[in-house]
Amino acid sequence: MDKIASPPTLITAMIAPAQVMRGQGAIAQAAEAIARLGQRPLVIGGDRTLKAVRTQLQPVLQQQAMAAVEASYGADCSEASLAALREAIAQHQADLIIGVGGGKALDAAKLVAHQTSLPIVTIPTSGATCAAWTALSNVYSDEGAFLYDVALPRCPDLLILDYDLVQTATPRTLIAGIGDAIAKWYEASVSSGHSERTFLIAAVQQARVLRDLLFQKSADALRSPGSDTWQDVVDATVLLAGVIGGIGGAQCRTVAAHAVHNGLTHLTQSHGTLHGEKVAYGILVQLRLEEMVQGNRLASSARQQLLQFYSEIGLPKTLSDLGLADVTIAQLQHAAEVACASSSDIHRLPFAVTPAHLMAAMVSTIAPIADSWSPDAGTGRSPDETISPGGSQPTHPSSFLLHPFPPEVAE
């Protein structure tokens, strides 16, 4: 009997929002675009964000005679928060979701819109993440620990990037967004840089363009909020970073840098830092792993380049910079074990990583290039002993992985 041929592999790509409106005063010009999606919107955000945006958004909704109500997502995009939002949708008989705020608010709005089969408008209030673009939501515990992510069947129906609104956010949010966005290169290149598939090649090359743009423009942008250069960097963190994940898919979105972020969220001491700050630190950890496990000298050079860039714009370089100067070995091990869980994106690295490897990398992000390391050395410390973040651990020679650099920093 002839065997039945297996159907060809089907890849579904959620690349971009159906419509993107960007510019100064974009919200005021979006009334008709919003009204095409529904007449009874539920506006989801944090308490402070909803209050801050109300004066801009309410006139736009009233202009189209939309019956809108607001709902706070709480502190996190958690199961309890999502349940409360679904109840609010039912009570209002909402036919449209408008998400306003940062990453967690937008993740909650996107996910509850998917769960209730409603269209979704995203309005980012800062340049801190690309959550306004992506077909992805992260779910956290009520205590703020990362639990899992949900791939959504489509990107938002409408994204409104209002530069005037984003400019009201603190500079720290854009700095964090730069850290989150620049990770795309370091993660996509290590997971997919070898691929010969068209979309993955495109995603990796766009990640390189994004990295170079941020190297060249970030410092000037932070010195001149609202300028054309500042708008370029906001476009990079909110839009272009989302494009890369859309084209390249999950393996171009997150590898070790985001896995480190996920592990750190399980330490309550880290909750005062932003998503992109933890991810930026995670890039240094990933490069350190490449140095230690692979003996990758180019990763060493990339790390030194990033340390200089971080110093220039104010991104964290060590656990101490993240407010974790007093973290214990036991706490660090817990974060490392979460980051190395079997389902973790850290396993997209082209080599095996253990919690011991990761802990060594996490405490040596500013180590000199010349350090050497044995993965069997162990810590030799009590689990309750505090560590010295930024101390050195070292490299174990192995294979090399290419990390190209922009011309101006390629010496």
Q: Give this prediction's pTM.
A: 0.89
6 CB-contact burial (10 Å; exposed 0-12 / middle 13-18 / buried 19+): exposed
User: Of the CATH numbers 3.40.50.300, 1.20.1090.10, 3.40.630.40, 3.30.1370.160, which one belongs to the domain with range 172-409?
Assistant: 1.20.1090.10
**Which of 218, 102, 264 is closest to 169 using CA atoms?**
102
Q: Write the pLDDT tens digit of every residue in 104-133.
A: 999 999 999 999 999 999 999 999 999 999
Q: pLDDT at residue 371 above 60? A: no
Query: What is the Cα 385 distance to its own chain's centre?
Result: 31
Tell me the DSSP string of 180-201. Answer: HHHHHHHHHHHHHTT---HHHH
Q: pLDDT at residue 84 above 60? A: yes
Average pLDDT over residues 208-235: 98
In the prediction, which pLDDT does 199 show?
A: 93
CA–CA distance, 287 with 298 (Å, rounded to integer): 9
Q: Which helix (H) or strand (E) holds 302?
A: helix 297-313
Q: Write the pLDDT tens digit of every residue in 146-167.
A: 999 999 999 999 999 999 999 9
Backbone dihedral angles phi then psi of residue 270, each to the nearest 5 degrees: -90, -5
CATH of domain 20-169: 3.40.50.1970
134 CB-contact burial (10 Å; exposed 0-12 / middle 13-18 / buried 19+): buried
Residue whose pair of structure tokens reads 């620049």 in the numeric block: 182
Collapse the DSSP code of 41 into the 3-class scheme (helix H, G, I; strand E, B; otherwise coil) and give the result.
Answer: strand
142: number of Cβ within 10 Å: 12
**Which of 53, 38, 47 is closest to 71 using CA atoms?**
47
Q: pLDDT at residue 378 above 90? A: no
In the prediction, which pLDDT does 11 show?
A: 79
**Residue-averaged pLDDT of the chain:** 89
Percent of the chain at pLDDT > 90 equals: 84
Q: Parse the chain into domains and list their residue ranges.
A: 20-169, 172-409
364 CB-contact burial (10 Å; exposed 0-12 / middle 13-18 / buried 19+): buried
Q: pLDDT at residue 374 above 90? A: no
Q: How far is CA 333 from CA 140, 352, 364, 387, 396, in A?
A: 20, 17, 15, 11, 21
By the 8 A CB rule, do 335 and 263 touch? yes
Q: How far is CA 13 from CA 17, 44, 110, 156, 347, in A?
A: 12, 26, 17, 14, 22
Reported as a pLDDT band with limits 50, 70 and 90, residue 376 is very low
Q: Write the pLDDT tens digit of every residue in 166-221.
A: 999 999 999 999 999 999 999 999 999 999 999 999 999 999 999 999 999 999 99
Q: Write the pLDDT tens digit of every residue in 337-359.
A: 999 999 999 999 999 999 999 99
Q: pLDDT at residue 305 above 50? A: yes
- One-letter amino acid at 13 equals A
Topology alike, domains 20-169 and 172-409: no
Q: pLDDT at residue 140 above 60? A: yes
Percent of the chain at pLDDT > 70 equals: 88
Cα angle: 169, vertex 31, 154; to 5 degrees = 75
